Structure 1
Amino acid sequence: MVKHTNWRAYREQRLREEMSAHPEYEQAGLDLRLGDMVRERPMELGLTQGEVAERAGITQPALSRIEGGGGIPTLAMLDRIAKAMHTTFTITVGDHAAA
């Protein structure tokens, strides 16, 4: 068994192992990372979910699902969310190693 210096390093290693064994986990991980990006910026700006949702023209529950990794937004919706937060999202599509 490999020793890790902290819980976060151990968790990251386990997630990598599980993702490589189960492709559906990889997609879930991507969905969660997108949710993290959507959730973190409004916190930096002091905006509530309701304020971001209203500015983006979506419902607060829809934004909450996206933040939780359960809602899959369209590119147009992501664009509206980004504009509501005065930010941009950079999304890579395809094999990262192929670049």
Structure 2
Amino acid sequence: MAGHGGWSDYRARRLREAATAHPEYEQAGLDLRLGDMVRERRLELGLTQAVVAESAGISQPALSRIEGGGGVPTLAMLDRIARAMHTTFTITVGEQTAA
């Protein structure tokens, strides 16, 4: 696989692209972080993409796109993915500060 980088190379390249001065790339950074969280949790549980995708009722390529930051799941799909992994995802809107 000469000339092909691994996941960390791909992720680093995508983050560099997202860090440019173009405001539309900010969303790409958010998509990557969401994908990273899904992928990291799946790997922590020792599950394959195929197993999670089948249980969630989506295709393995769709899950791969989500994990790579190239596809953004609906909240319903994210819930199905979480249930397939017997876990929960917490979504925070805005930032909380201590009173």
TM-score interval (norm. to shorter): 0.7 to 0.9
Q: What is the match of residue 96 of structure 1?
A: 95
CA distance 1:22–1:97, shift in 2 (3 Å): farther
**How many residues end up aligned between the 2 structures?**
83
Structure exhibiting the larger radius of gyration computed from Cα positions: 1
Summarize the alignment of residues 62-73 of structure 1 with structure 2, pairs less than 5 Å apart. Answer: 62-73=62-73
Alpha-carbon distance, 1:48 to partner: 0.3
Q: What is the match of residue 25 of structure 2?
A: 25
RMSD: 2.4
Query: Deviation above 2 Å: which 4+ runs of structure 1?
Result: 95-99
Q: Which runs of 5+ in 2 are unaligned?
A: 1-11
Alpha-carbon distance, 1:90 to partner: 1.5
The percentage of counterpart residues that share the same residue type is 80
Q: What is the match of residue 78 of structure 1?
A: 78
Alpha-carbon distance, 1:87 to partner: 1.2
Q: What is the match of residue 53 of structure 2?
A: 53
Q: Which runs of 5+ in 1 are unaligned?
A: 1-10
Alpha-carbon distance, 1:51 to partner: 0.3
Give the TM-score normalised by structure 2. 0.73
Summarize the alignment of residues 4-19 of structure 1 with structure 2, pairs less than 5 Å apart. Answer: 18=19
Give the TM-score normalised by structure 1. 0.73
